[in-house]
Amino acid sequence: MTVSVDKKTLKIIFSICVLAVAICIADCVSEIRATADYSKADGTLVSIDRSIDLGLQNNSKTDIIRYKVYQYQVNQQEYTCQYRTYVLFQPKIGSHKTIYYSSLNPNQVRDEFKIQTAKAGAVFFAFFGIMMLVFMKKAGENE
Q: What is the DSSP string of 21-78?
A: HHHHHHHHHHHHHHTTT-EEEEEEEEEEEEEEE--TTTT---EEEEEEEEEEEETTEE
Q: What's the pLDDT at 141?
A: 67
pLDDT digits (tens, 9 = 90+) for 71-90: 999 999 999 999 888 776 67
Q: What's the pLDDT at 24?
A: 92
Residue 72 lies in a domain: yes
pLDDT digits (tens, 9 = 90+) for 19-78: 999 999 998 898 888 888 899 899 999 998 888 877 666 667 777 888 889 999 999 999
Residue 11 lies in a domain: no
Total structural domains within the chain? 1
Residue 5 lies in a domain: no
Q: How confident is the model at residue 127 (pLDDT cuts 50, 70, 90)?
A: very high
What is the Cα–Cα distance from 92 to 30, expressed in whole angstroms? 29
Q: Across the strands, what pairs with 99? A: 41
Residue 141 lies in a domain: no
Q: Across the strands, what pairs with 68? A: 48, 83
Residue 80 lies in a domain: yes
Domain that holds residue 24: 20-136
Burial class (CB in 10 A: 0-12, 13-18, 19+), 21: buried
Give the HSE-up count for residue 60: Cα atoms under 13 Å, Cβ half-sphere.
Answer: 8
Residue 1 lies in a domain: no
Whether the CB-CB separation of 53 and 62 falls below 8 Å is answered with: yes
Q: Is the pTM of this model over 0.75?
A: no
